[in-house]
Amino acid sequence: MKKLWFVISMSCFLNTEAQMPLLKISSNKRFFQTADGKPFFWLGDTGWLLFVKCNREDAIKYLDTRMHQGFNVVQVMVLHDVNDKNVFGDYALKDSDPSAPATTPGNDFKNATAYDYWDHVDFIIEEAAKRGIYMALVPVWGSNVKEGKVSVKQAEMYAKFLATRYKNRNNIIWVNGGDIRGTDGLEVWEIIGTTLRKNDPRHLITYHPRGRFSSSEWFHKESWLDFNMFQSGHRTYEQDTSRNEKNHFGEDNWKYVNVDYDLLPVKPVLDGEPSYENIPHGLHDYSLPRWTADDVRRYAYWSVFAGGAGFTYGENSVMQFYADGDKDANYGVKKNWKETINATGALQMEHLISLMLSLKGYFDRVPAQEILVDNTGGKYDYLLATKGKKFAMVYSFTGRIIKVDLSKLDFKVSRMTWYDPSGGEGAGNGLSGERKITSFTPPVKKQGGNDWVLILE
């Protein structure tokens, strides 16, 4: 009954860094594209501690795996802490001073005195480029700024160092902030943003906020902010303590997209940190259930169909590169990252990017809730719709019946297909007449995790 519908083409060879195009904002300001005009769907992974926890061999294993899984962006902390040192024992800074990066002459891995923290960062960035992966670099994690470890002057000098060192590498994206409100260290975030822009005008810049916030809350109109990123976070509906605040929407990450989508000037937006696969609900009580691949898919399709320009996945062990016996493990991590790098949700993200890049008229896509009839289900039963000039798609997490007003499409429907986000397979069963309001029943029992995408062409 089912057949493989979309297949993403993975390179069987490694590229050179020079072949990687720069990323740009599309002409309609809603999406990303490469410098040569090709659509770029951001499929990110949170490899936060890659630079400090992985040696060269492990870094290559990680990048190889994510490349073959379809990921094209890795979000990573350049400094998790101002006292950071990497797996080789090399410190990033002299005396924990952000204005004094600890660099040494040369870049010779065989010579310990000529291979420093920054040489290792360079190595990983270069290896990512060979695999077609962009590195979304967080200069310094937000807790350092909130705790007063980074002054405005230090931040300016450090940002200039980063911009100067990496401005000529094509596979760089700057992610200011780091799990923090913009008001916690506002002057530092502003100076980092403006300094990066001044010294590196080639690369895109965004801001990673704390959970249940978007960068738009503080920086939308800043000239250095090219696109918005929000963190929908790790709490359930019931755990959400920010639900009474303006523009904080619990698990409904599509609502964050709605808010940013309507702002002026127009800028792309994406969920840069939803709930991680295999992490406890709410993070800190390890006895609670853990987020699953089903939840990850829901966050992904909800936010993208609402108008998002991409999506970032995360897995508990991988994001902290947990190895057996690590004493600094967090969030009830249980398994080695080399095992969970093939977690179910990670493998299923390829189906999302494959689907989105298969569309005819990628840059024409817009949110399309107006085509839905009786979309009154709340929480997990809510439907999200998107359309272009020759297609429309509706995502149902629970496999509920979908009613569409065909008169509100910009085309006459000649083909209907069901697409399985968990398996990447499609099943077509035709149309039942030409009624204005048409009901479509997914080929599954109605329950959470039985998600399907209705595709009309």
Please answer whether residues 239 and 279 qualify as being in contact, where contact means their C-beta atoms are separated by less than 8 angstroms. no
Q: Among residues 316, 344, 363, which one ends one of the domains?
A: 363
Report long-range pairs for 23-29 (Cβ below 8 Å, ≥24 apart): 23/134, 23/173, 23/203, 23/204, 24/204, 25/204, 25/226, 25/227, 25/267, 25/268, 26/268, 26/363, 27/363, 28/266, 28/363, 29/265, 29/266, 29/267, 29/268
Query: Which pLDDT does position 15 carry in this prediction?
Result: 67
Q: In the predicted model, is pLDDT for residue 244 greater than 90?
A: no
Q: Please name which of 314, 297, 295 lies closest in space to residue 305, comparing C-alpha atoms.
A: 297
- The total domain count for the chain is 2
d(CA 416, CA 357): 18
In a domain, 122, yes or no: yes
Q: 353 and 379, same structural domain? A: no
* Neighbour order of strands in the sheet with 23-25: 23-25, 32-34, 39-40
DSSP β-bridge partners for residue 392:
387, 456
**Whether 347 and 372 share a structural domain:** no
Domain end position, chosen among 363, 380, 402: 363
**Same-domain check for residues 384 and 295:** no
What is the pLDDT at residue 251? 95
As a whole number, mean pLDDT of residues 144-164 equals: 98
Per-residue model confidence (pLDDT) at position 359: 87
Contacts for 49 with CB less than 8 Å, ≥ 6 apart:
76, 77, 80, 319, 320, 321
N residues, the chain = 457
* Measured distance CA(53)–CA(335) in Å, rounded: 16
Residue 455: in which H helix or E strand, if any?
strand 452-456
Predicted TM-score (pTM) of this structure: 0.95
Crossing angle of helices 344-357/293-305, nearest 10°? 20
Strand partners of residue 76: 137
Domain that holds residue 326: 12-363
pLDDT at 257 over 90: yes
**Category of 434 on φ-ψ map: left (φ > 0), alpha (ψ -120 to 50) or beta:** alpha
Residues 287 and 374 in one domain: no
Nearest partner of 373 among 342, 335, 402, 337, judged by Cα: 402
Q: Is residue 431's pLDDT more than 90?
A: no
- Among 330, 363, 396, where does a domain finish? 363
Say if 232 falls within a structural domain: yes
